[in-house]
Each structure stands twice: as structure tokens, then as C-alpha cells.
Amino acid sequence: MRRAVVLTAASLVLVSPWARADGPLMELQTEALTPGLVLEESRRPVHQIRLLVESDGKHGTLVLDPNVPEFDEFGGLIGGVQTPQASGKGGGLPTVQLACAIEFVKSGEDKWLLFRLKGEKITSPLLIATRGPILDAGPARVLVLGRDKKVSTVIAMTRYGLAVP
């Protein structure tokens, strides 16, 4: 009887929609952006960018948060955008979530790698620069290209392992 219960429980875990082997493994997240960044994909200025990277390192979800951040008197984030630091205190506006491919572009000096975010609904020229592979620890940045195809905006990102959507 005990084996039957264990096997049944194990089979439920294997077919559970929440038990995705290919689910997000790493989250790259900007700080709260003030003022917001204007991107074509969002009707409102974006106050935080998150990239949920799948376990293959080649696919992910770009999350654009239009909620205006809230700060305490010392500048600490206390609400507005959806982040682990202000969990449960996000704003009322829905985030824009876009499936994307993470395409390797080139290597640079000092182990920097450049990736392009491409997706059916992604029209802004967005790049991710990481020191080392995208799934490893280390510095990361989101880069927005201007009309001249040169970097116009650079925003530092923090890495969080085992992302929870």
C-alpha cells in the first residue's frame, strides 16, 4: 500500500503543470526605473525589466512592469513594481509578458557576451550583456539601442537563481 501511495504521488508530480523541467531557471531583474523607460511594447513607461531565462539559456520571458515604484524616506523600494524585495505590494497595472528567444550575438573583452532578445511581439532593439554564460553568476546589463543602432540606454541587472514566475 505504501508503494502505491508513493508511486501515485510521484506520477502526479511528473504530470503536474507546475513541475516544468524546462521552466525558468534564472531571473535577471533591473532595479526600479525612475523615470520610466519608454518602449514600444508597453503603453506606459516601463519601471522595471525582468528576464526569466529558461533552463536551456536560449528562451525566456521578457517582463515589462509599468507600475510606478514606491520608496520609503531613505529611497528603499517598498512597493509598486513586482519584485522579491516588495513581495505582495506590486501595483495594480498588469505587466507585459513576452515570450522571447535569447540569441547569442558575439563575445567581447573580459568574458563579456552579448545576446539579442527576439520575439514575435518584441519590436524594441533590446540586448543583454553578461560576463560569462547567461545562466552563470556575474554582472548583467540590459542595453537599448537607439535609431542609429548604437547603445542609448544601459541598465544594470541583478541575477536571481531558480526564478519563480
Note the pLDDT tens digit of each residue in 32-84: 999 999 999 999 999 999 999 999 999 999 999 999 999 999 998 888 886 65
The residue-averaged pLDDT of 99-103 equals 97
Q: What is the overall mean pLDDT for the chain?
A: 83
* Res 25: pLDDT: 86
The angle at the Cα of 87, spanning 64 to 49, to the nearest 5 degrees, equals 15
**CA nearest 120: which of 96, 100, 104, 135?**
100
Identify whether 97 is part of a domain. yes
> Can you tell me which residue has the cell 563575445?
107
78 compared with 117, residue with greater pLDDT: 117
SS3 (DSSP) at 129: strand
Identify whether 70 is part of a domain. yes
Number of domain units in the chain:
1
* Res 8: pLDDT: 36
Is the pLDDT at 117 greater than 60, yes or no?
A: yes
Instruction: For residue 44, count CB atoms less than 10 angstroms from its CB and return exposed for 0-12, middle for 13-18, buried for 19 or more.
Output: middle
Identify whether 15 is part of a domain. no
Residue 5: in which H helix or E strand, if any?
A: helix 2-15
Identify whether 125 is part of a domain. yes
Predicted TM-score of the model (pTM): 0.80
Q: Which residues pair with residue 141 across a beta bridge? A: 129, 156
User: Could you list the residue range(s) of the whole structural domain that residue 83 is in?
Assistant: 20-161
